[in-house]
């Protein structure tokens, strides 16, 4: 009828994994050496330039402050732009400016004209500004809070 197959002997042995581990360790060491060599051969990286530049000029008794986006970036058209100013040795009639207060609110680089009057009691005058706006590249925008200061 059926042929009888003799039983086989099964043994469970714990063979040494030492050769396998040596091979894996050698591969990892080689990969680490290649990665280190590539890192050392790479040119030194520079920090990226910011996406915008703040330009301020003093003319008479007015501080002109502009937000200039770098090429490829823009200020969000429907996003708020706030300029908060404070100073020492000067009298500031207004301390908060918004996008509609810019010389041209729809400009790609809004400019704010901030009037001030030096106070006669101090010789050193300084104006600080905190600017809040959104900088965009394509459809992605991120909020920016930055500071600007100038001696008068």
pLDDT tens column, 44-87: 545 567 899 999 999 989 999 999 999 999 999 899 999 999 99
Residue 45 has a pLDDT of 46
pTM passes above 0.85: no
- Over residues 22-41, the pLDDT tens digits come to 555 666 766 666 666 666 66
Structure tokens that stand for 141 in this block: 């925008």
Joined together, the tokens standing for residue 6 give 């003799």
Alpha helices by DSSP H, listed for 72-128, are none
Give Cα 22 to chain centroid, integer Å.
45
Give the chain's domains with CATH numbers. 52-151 (2.60.40)
User: Does residue 136 contact residue 75 with C-beta atoms inside 8 Å?
Assistant: yes
Region label for 103, one of left (φ > 0), alpha (ψ between -120 and 50) or beta (otherwise): alpha
Helix (H), strand (E) at residue 149: strand 140-151
Which neighbouring-strand residues pair with 148?
129
- CA 69, distance to chain mean position in Å, is 14
């Amino acid at each position: 009828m059926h042929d009888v197959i003799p039983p086989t002997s099964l043994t469970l042995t714990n063979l040494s994994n030492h050769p396998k581990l040596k091979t894996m360790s050698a591969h990892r060491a080689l990969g680490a050496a290649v990665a280190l060599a590539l890192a050392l051969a790479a040119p030194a990286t520079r920090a990226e330039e910011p996406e915008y530049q703040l330009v301020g000029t003093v003319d008479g008794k007015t501080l002109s402050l502009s937000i200039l986006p770098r090429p490829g970036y823009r200020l969000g058209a429907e996003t708020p732009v706030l300029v908060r100013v404070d100073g020492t040795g000067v009298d500031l009639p207004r301390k908060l400016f918004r996008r509609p207060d810019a010389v041209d609110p729809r400009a790609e680089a809004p400019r704010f004209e901030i009037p001030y009057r030096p106070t006669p009691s101090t010789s050193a005058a300084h104006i600080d500004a905190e600017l809040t706006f959104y900088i965009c590249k394509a459809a992605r925008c991120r909020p920016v809070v930055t500071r600007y200061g100038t001696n008068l």
